[in-house]
Structure 1
């Protein structure tokens, strides 16, 4: 073989390069190739999602085969600072997803991508879109929300294929008139707009617009020019009225004007009789509806909660297509007009002044949900039992005395909430209510429960609450129950009540004056939530370990002196409240509860905490207020990194652990009423701190770093001995609008400390030590009177 032929063979067998002319996908480095999906056939996708990437690999646009076949790039949740201009060679690219990065600028090369249809650069730091973006001939959807864009390109509305533009949550103060031009879905909510441009285009084809959460006071006068508008959201602004021109938007199907200050509606709104299907007017100041409101014959959903409506117009019953009605928190006294709403399945009238229901309410033949809580109802009409589709009724917090016998006669009721009324007995024929799954009769005047009939007819009942019916002393419950409320009920035979409740997951037997928990309770193996608060319990038995599924336990306001060691066996416990007891020690077994999130041990007599919190790494709130703690553990405090709320006020703590600032998720930190003299210098590391209470301590210096907590809204450093305040304190008040309290600073030589706890080591040493003659103490002595050992005196100020 000749040298020439040998050389040619050698050249032919060389692998293709990863970039440059002749480069192939197969030659890509493994770190890039593993992100390339070739399962779509000829076209390929590249997915670099959440890969801690700082820059887009150059192989994407320098590999010849990849740049020709690439259909989509997905690289969200990374650390990219810029988009390389080299992507302009990706002529087959259709989708680009660069959301949640740190990109500050979008290159004009994006416009050259002729096949690009979908572009998402949301949640970055982009300040402007390319001025020539209107030349992107195939781009149909642009998402640039949550950036720092202050201005849009003038010709952005000239994009020929654009169907959706989302620039919400930016810093826009104006938008160009061209946004009205094409039939697009425009989202400019969450900006700083004070005015919308006039509609001067003769051919304005805008279909949907969302301008919610801005600073708008009025809509443009030429609003009627938007003849193709079918969806509009103007909620969370400062509108006081709607223009009459809104009645000329004859294709408008959806209008949301909630959370404004609208005083009155224009009569022209009723001209949308054949178009409007959804109308949301909640959280305004409306006291009436237009007289011709019933003309809105196609209206299906109407919400007008949190207003001042005193009545409904006579034409309201003409809303034949209405399916959902929400008029909560108004001033309605009569709702007789609802009887003609034959298609309405949900009616919400909570928090009004309704005293009666219409006698012909059975004409609401489609009614399934009726909520009337917090009104002035005294009786329910018999016709309510003829509303055949009714499934849920809520009449809690009224003055109803009797449940009609007809209720449930022609219905398949599922939920009855009649709590906080004056009901004294159940209907005689309980078979009519046999389909009930939820029955709430708490806080009534029930005298007895028909035992056999109750358990026999309520075989489908899942949730039962009879709390605060104090005259009931015996209950036999159906076996199907999942939750049971018997608070304030003194049971004569609890063993019968809790027998055979194999599926019970929630039990409330608080405020029953019991001195020990009935034995059958510990056999309820499915319990996940148990409330034993406000009783006379002095201890918890070892049988508590049998409730292995327990997630929430409340034994507050009892007389417990200790928690059993078996508490550590409850591995799934997430919430524990043992406040207002007589606990003297923190049981170390608690540190084994790795799923614990909310722990309340306030108002006890604990002197010390364990050296570390073990496996309690998911703690969110910790309340240790009003105890006798002298210090906080410093070992492995990083275990509590998920903590957001810490309250150790009204204790005897003298110093804060040096690692405390590393609780970087903390929102609320309460340290008032202690003996703290010094704060860690790096307090500013608590970046999410919103409330800090350091009042009534012995602090002399506030570290400057504390003023760098950008989220701080409430700071209380009163009742200390601070002489010089940090300069940054004024910035907290003025720029961050932080409420700062600094009054009552003790400026004498020494602020008298609180007395030491009887029995503590320091006090024992003080008692045994003999005073030296010839030396005077610089602090005033404070005597502790006999019998006051259990009372913690507050630090008095020296005047």
Structure 2
């Protein structure tokens, strides 16, 4: 009887209710079967706080004492029959938060229903292949994290969790979404990234409370037009899919603020007439060929526009409509000139690396955003471009009558023999230089398997070499002898190493190694102290040396996107000179996407805070 007088908050009725559903439940002594994996002190604390964290305890199954924590008499009650006021176990708090992540669980039992008060269940980073049907009884659940498991299907019972606000299913093996998913009408955050989904149900439009939806790294070829029904959606991530187009209805999502469409197969830029709040639009690594006024005129609030690694040939004057724009990434396109009006924008970051830029000298681009904008502003004329400007534009675009663009050699100091699909550079190309000064070489978009040996003839003058989009598997020593080389583009080749002799390139400031086959950051790069920009995205890089990077005092841009980095060393946070650090598209788990979105300074600060003391 003493138990009845001491109860509060209906715990007794709760215990009776569980007893009716589970013949093992009731005022039974808690079995001492938890062992060292779950200390009694931890269970005791959980009864007071309502929270139990069993993360990283090497568990292959959840001990019974965890499921029955609010059902059985605690072990310590049998050892101490005279309870003090602070030891009244019957006044225990229902377990509301259970974390059993980073273990070796392959399944959960239906005993899960013995914890009906749970509001948070975190079981990420296990080996679960399914969820029990009893999950339907966790009607109070608000957050469920089952990410980084091996789920192939979701039980239909999950649609019974009507109070769910956050559902995290990323990094599983899901191929479909169960019927009735739209019944989760309180859902605000849904992460389905890194699965095997090929379609998104049209019924998703009923998820009217959804604020954040992550569908990245699946196999989606299209999005349903009904997705526009998510009137509260602010963040939509569709990176790394197979999307060839975007439904026009997407333009009607008035609350949309962040839209990620990187690494798809888009050929055209969508228009966004109703997306007045859109702040970030990420379209990098697609096949977009044109940027027109119609694409820009509605982006009044845009802060970030990412168009890197596309096929753009020009930027329209209407870019000045984007008065709020702070970050513009145009790197790795086919842009040869920029409108001078771009200088009117108040950009904080402008990326132009990897373009055959001809109207702006390479040394100006290498000095950074503000110098480029200053240069463009200085060229603005009230009465339009001068005659000399027109001559330069014509010289760049008029095809030469000969096979070699002599105009470019004389006027722009460029030896251009690009996009010929040739396996070797003819001697007449080098002969055409004669006594002229050439500072840039562009042999990109050919079929070169080796670097032309005659390139050494230009070693005293060349500062800019573009050998991108060829079939190079090694770098010859001739290239290492270009003493004035400051910009080197080797993207889209078959390279997996760089020669140690590159250390002699004592003026090299920018190197582009994207889309090759590197598995590590080449050691020789750490020894080129003049390097300011290293672009090595879309390789297989598995590690970097933060101590050596820290010594590179001039390095301000490091692009490591889409590699195989399983972890980011905290010591990288000490590289305080970095202004742009790009890490998206790697399989590491921390820093999380929310940190990456905040930019380089936030990433470095996060990493520094985790350096062991």
Q: TM-score, normalised by structure 1?
A: 0.40
Tell me how far 1:320 sits from its aligned partner. Answer: 1.7
Give the 3-state SS of the residue equivalent to 1:419 in structure 2.
Answer: coil
Q: Match of 1:387? A: 299
Tell whether the 8 Å contact from 1:129 to 1:152 is kept in structure 2 after alignment.
Answer: no
Tell whether the 8 Å contact from 2:95 to 2:115 is kept in structure 1 after alignment.
Answer: no
Paired residue for 2:265, among 353, 363, 374?
353
Q: Match of 1:285? A: 196
Tell whether the 8 Å contact from 2:175 to 2:195 is kept in structure 1 after alignment.
Answer: yes
Taking the aligned partners of 2:227 and 2:286, their CA distance within structure 1 comes to 21
Taking the aligned partners of 1:217 and 1:294, their CA distance within structure 2 comes to 28
Q: Which region of structure 1 is more displaced relative to structure 2, 412-421 or 129-138?
A: 129-138
Task: Rate the CA distance shift 1:142–1:511 in 2: closer, same or farther, 3 A.
Answer: farther
Q: Match of 2:64? A: 154
**Structure 1 position 311 matched with structure 2 position 216:** no
Task: Rate the CA distance shift 1:233–1:398 in 2: closer, same or farther, 3 A.
Answer: same
Taking the aligned partners of 1:264 and 1:423, their CA distance within structure 2 comes to 41
Taking the aligned partners of 2:460 and 2:69, their CA distance within structure 1 comes to 76
| Pairing of 1:779-798 with structure 2 (within 5 A) | none
Tell me how far 1:444 sits from its aligned partner. Answer: 3.0
Q: Which protein is richer in helix relative to its size?
A: 2
Deviations 1:7-42 (A, max 9, x none): xxxxxxxxxxxxxxxxxxxxxxxxxxxxxxxxxxxx
| Pairing of 1:455-474 with structure 2 (within 5 A) | 459=370, 473=412
Tell me how far 1:559 sits from its aligned partner. Answer: 9.0
Give the 3-state SS of the residue equivalent to 2:182 in structure 1.
Answer: helix
Stretches of structure 1 lacking an aligned partner (at least 5 in a row)? 1-110, 112-125, 162-180, 476-489, 495-509, 519-532, 541-553, 563-572, 579-594, 601-641, 643-799
Tell whether the 8 Å contact from 2:503 to 2:527 is kept in structure 1 after alignment.
Answer: no
| Pairing of 1:46-445 with structure 2 (within 5 A) | 127-130=36-39, 138=48, 141-148=51-58, 154-157=64-67, 182-198=94-110, 201=113, 204-273=116-185, 275-335=186-246, 336-359=248-271, 361-383=272-294, 384-432=296-344, 434-445=345-356
Q: Match of 2:526? A: 575
Tell me how far 1:254 sits from its aligned partner. Answer: 0.7
Taking the aligned partners of 1:296 and 1:138, their CA distance within structure 2 comes to 36
Give the 3-state SS of the residue equivalent to 1:315 in structure 2.
Answer: helix
Taking the aligned partners of 1:576 and 1:278, their CA distance within structure 2 comes to 45
Q: Which region of structure 1 is more displaced relative to structure 2, 394-403 or 320-329?
A: 394-403
Taking the aligned partners of 1:197 and 1:244, their CA distance within structure 2 comes to 17
Tell me how far 1:217 sits from its aligned partner. Answer: 1.5
Tell me how far 1:233 sits from its aligned partner. Answer: 0.9
Taking the aligned partners of 1:389 and 1:436, their CA distance within structure 2 comes to 14
Tell me how far 1:408 sits from its aligned partner. Answer: 2.4
Taking the aligned partners of 2:167 and 2:212, their CA distance within structure 1 comes to 11
Q: Match of 1:536? A: 481
Taking the aligned partners of 1:219 and 1:324, their CA distance within structure 2 comes to 28
Aligned residues: 369
Runs ≥4 residues deviating over 4 A: 130-137, 139-144, 148-153, 157-161, 199-203, 457-464, 469-475, 490-494, 510-514, 537-540, 554-562
Taking the aligned partners of 1:348 and 1:324, their CA distance within structure 2 comes to 8
Tell whether the 8 Å contact from 1:295 to 1:319 is kept in structure 2 after alignment.
Answer: yes
Taking the aligned partners of 2:505 and 2:287, their CA distance within structure 1 comes to 46
Tell me how far 1:515 sits from its aligned partner. Answer: 3.6
Give the 3-state SS of the residue equivalent to 1:302 in structure 2.
Answer: strand
| Pairing of 1:362-761 with structure 2 (within 5 A) | 362-383=273-294, 384-432=296-344, 434-449=345-360, 459=370, 473=412, 514-515=459-460, 534-536=479-481, 557=501, 575-577=526-528, 597=548
Q: TM-score, normalised by structure 2?
A: 0.51
Taking the aligned partners of 2:102 and 2:216, their CA distance within structure 1 comes to 23
Taking the aligned partners of 2:317 and 2:437, their CA distance within structure 1 comes to 30
Tell whether the 8 Å contact from 2:97 to 2:121 is kept in structure 1 after alignment.
Answer: yes
Tell me how far 1:323 sits from its aligned partner. Answer: 1.3
Tell me how far 1:333 sits from its aligned partner. Answer: 1.0
RMSD, matched Cα: 4.7
Taking the aligned partners of 1:461 and 1:153, their CA distance within structure 2 comes to 63
Task: Rate the CA distance shift 1:284–1:157 in 2: closer, same or farther, 3 A.
Answer: closer
Stretches of structure 2 lacking an aligned partner (at least 5 in a row)? 1-29, 72-92, 376-395, 397-404, 415-432, 440-454, 464-477, 486-497, 507-523, 530-545, 552-570, 572-613
Tell me how far 1:149 sits from its aligned partner. Answer: 5.4
Taking the aligned partners of 2:372 and 2:340, their CA distance within structure 1 comes to 18
Tell whether the 8 Å contact from 1:199 to 1:220 is kept in structure 2 after alignment.
Answer: no
Q: Match of 1:654? A: none
Task: Rate the CA distance shift 1:459–1:202 in 2: closer, same or farther, 3 A.
Answer: closer
Tell me how far 1:446 sits from its aligned partner. Answer: 3.3
Tell me how far 1:493 sits from its aligned partner. Answer: 11
